[in-house]
Amino acid sequence: MIVFCGIDWAENHHDVALVDDTGQLLAKRRITDDAAGYRLLLDLLAEHGDTAEEPIPVAIETGRGLLVTALRAGIRPVYAINPLAAARYRDRHSVSRKKSDPGDALVLANILRTDLHAHRPLPADSDLAKAITVLARAQQDAVWSRQQLVNQVRSLLCDYFPAALDAFVGKQFGLARPEARMVLTAAPTPAKAAKLTTLQLRAALKRAGRTRGIDAEAERLRTVFRGEYARQPQAVEDAMGHHLLALIRQLDAACLAAEELATVVEEHFHRHPDAEIFLSFPGLGVQLAARVLAETGDDRTRFADARALKAYAGSAPITRASGKKRYVGRRFIKNDRLINAGFLWAFSALRASPGADAHYRRRRERGDWHAQAQRHLFNRMIGQLYHCLQAGQLFDEHGAFTSSPAGLTAAA
């Protein structure tokens, strides 16, 4: 007898249902979200024939958490079913739109019973790859938070302190620069900034870690801050200065978190056996390569072919056809983190790879927009990454973009 398990996941408890290959309900139970509940679930599976050699497949609406970790001990296949797909399956059994947690567990078990071939189990990534996933996503979130805070600071400065924008926005990293944060902390209002002396500005720049061009930079900032600009009333200006200080403290924490996480990501990434292959690709630095590895994993059987990986990344177009109507466009259901890293990768590859630059320019000449050409280049690069990982070989510029070195030279 073949048995299938479905688990309706919740924060404090989980409903479990077991069915056989005919759809007969064998057992149902509610377990708690703790070690005792996990042991009860594993005992329940063992009672119905779960063994190390023939584990019972499990369907659940999430792919993370301690429950999933407990289920994946050994070789048990765990299928993460999209909640939207589970809702569509629910309509197959009842049109009354009734819903319950035990009923959802039964629906998930029946999904495996009827359509196991249409779903993929969670990838068998290594522990190191999983650790890189956690760290790379955390670092990416910290970078996004930092940029969001920079945007808030810039918006606030536009309202009352345009001199600060003239002083720092044109620089690399702009308002996220350590000296920008240090100076704005010392003088959060135009009135205070105008009173800063060259000596005070030099001290602030040194505290921020600047070691070269301090005198010239201090003199430039002094000139900018003492320029003629429109001003808010003094009381409003002081209030906005307090608001700026609060934002700067948050920005300091976000910058520190992004830097520390970047260091840890680099340490973990260099220990991965695929690191050399990733870094051989033009445009992929350590942080960007770690993000790509985090989202693709290191399970070689996860994707059936390069097309499957391209669809997962959202770089491959999708076709919608019905009757005489046919539409080919970009994918909306994709891994958003991977496609974000892909656009950065494609943009960086334009300078590092003559072949990538020639490919991008050909797409532009054919009428593609900038984003379309970038997505097409990422689509090609990630297909090449799939091939190199499967073959265990480094990226080859000549083989990737042209069949002859002479053709590549002409394209450059």
pLDDT in tens, 20-48: 999 899 999 999 999 999 999 999 999 99
Q: Does residue 406 have a pLDDT over 50?
A: no
Closest to 330 in 3D by CA, of 295, 374, 385, 296: 374
What is the end-to-end Cα distance of the chain in Å, rounded?
Answer: 63
- Note the pLDDT of residue 262: 96
Reported as a single tens digit per residue, the pLDDT across 85-119 is 888 888 877 777 778 888 899 999 999 999 999 89
* pLDDT tops 70 at residue 188: yes
Residue 245 sits in the same domain as residue 138: yes
* Residue 162 vs residues 188, 200, 322, 353: alpha-carbon distances, Å: 12, 21, 55, 40
Among 118, 145, 171, which residue terminates a domain? 118
The answer to whether residue 272 is domain-embedded is no
Same domain? 158 vs 112: no
Secondary structure string (H, E, C) spanning the chain: CCEEEEEECCCCEEEEEEEECCCCEEEEEEEECCHHHHHHHHHHHHHCCCCCCCCCCEEECCCCCHHHHHHCCCCCCEEECCHHHHHHHHHHHCCCCCCCHHHHHHHHHHHHHHHHHHCCCCCCCCHHHHHHHHHHHHHHHHHHHHHHHHHHHHHHHHHHCHHHHHHHCCCCCHHHCHHHHHHHHHCCCHHHHHCCCHHHHHHHHHHCCCCCCHHHHHHHHHHHHCCCCCCCCHHHHHHHHHHHHHHHHHHHHHHHHHHHHHHHHHHHHHCCCCHHHHHCCCCCCHHHHHHHHHHHCCCCCCCCCHHHHHHHHCCCCEEEEECCEEEEECCCCCCHHHHHHHHHHHHHHHHHCHHHHHHHHHHHHCCCCHHHHHHHHHHHHHHHHHHHHHHCCCCCHHHHHCCCHHHHHHHC
Q: Residue 213 domain-assigned?
A: yes
Whether residue 410 is predicted with pLDDT greater than 70 in this model: the reply is no
- Shared domain for 85 and 142, answered yes or no, is no
Q: Are 348 and 288 in contact (CB under 8 A)?
A: yes
Count the domains in the chain: 3
Q: Is residue 398 part of a domain?
A: yes
pLDDT of residue 223: 94
What pLDDT does 92 receive? 77
Q: Residues 206, 309: one domain?
A: no
The predicted model scores a pTM of: 0.86
Judge if 32 and 154 occupy the same domain.
no
Is position 124 within any domain? Answer: no
Could you tell me if 142 and 254 are in contact, meaning their C-beta atoms sit under 8 angstroms apart? yes
- What is the pLDDT confidence band of residue 402, given thresholds at 50, 70 and 90? low
- Whether 344 and 371 have beta carbons less than 8 Å apart is answered as no
Domain annotation covers residue 250? yes
pLDDT at residue 336 tops 70: yes
Residue ranges making up the domain that contains 244: 131-267
Q: Count the neighbouring beta carbons within 10 Å of the beta carbon of residue 210.
A: 17
pLDDT in tens, 192-209: 999 999 999 999 999 999
Residues 58 and 106 in one domain: yes
106: CATH:
3.30.420.40
- Residue 258 and residue 143 in contact, taking contact as beta carbons nearer than 8 Å: yes
pLDDT at 1 over 80: no
Do 345 and 363 share a domain, yes or no?
yes
